[in-house]
């Protein structure tokens, strides 16, 4: 059976649709979280990271992004 991994199209479409919906919801939640981070900061995040080369702020923003991504992932998986 060399073609045992082929999935029927009628089984694939619901899974694909669900995946696209969850990706869209995850991206919207992530965008909202990032907008909140930028608005709450008393300084320009873009200026600090790009112009002033503030590595510490970039690491903190990266950690926040990973944390939000883990929360969204757990919410989607139902854990």
Query: What does the pLDDT average to over 1-29?
Result: 78
The tally of domains found in the chain comes to 1
Kindly report the average pLDDT of the chain as a whole number. Answer: 84
Indicate whether 58 belongs to any domain: yes
Indicate whether 8 belongs to any domain: no
**pLDDT at 75 > cutoff 70:** yes
Indicate whether 1 belongs to any domain: no
Indicate whether 49 belongs to any domain: yes
Q: Which domain holds residue 70?
A: 23-77
Lookup result for tokens 């320009």: 44
**pLDDT at 2 > cutoff 80:** no
Query: What does the pLDDT average to over 24-31?
Result: 87
Indicate whether 44 belongs to any domain: yes
This prediction has a pTM of 0.66
Taking the C-alpha atoms of residue 79 and residue 63, their distance in angstroms, rounded to an integer, is 21
């Amino acid at each position: 059976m060399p073609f045992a991994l082929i999935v029927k199209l009628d089984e694939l479409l619901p899974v694909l649709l669900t995946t696209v919906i969850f990706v869209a919801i995850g991206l919207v939640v992530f965008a909202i979280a990032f907008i909140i981070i930028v608005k709450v900061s008393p300084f320009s995040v873009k200026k600090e990271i790009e112009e002033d080369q503030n590595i510490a702020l970039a690491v903190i923003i990266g950690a926040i992004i990973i944390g939000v991504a883990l929360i969204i992932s757990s919410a989607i998986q139902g854990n």
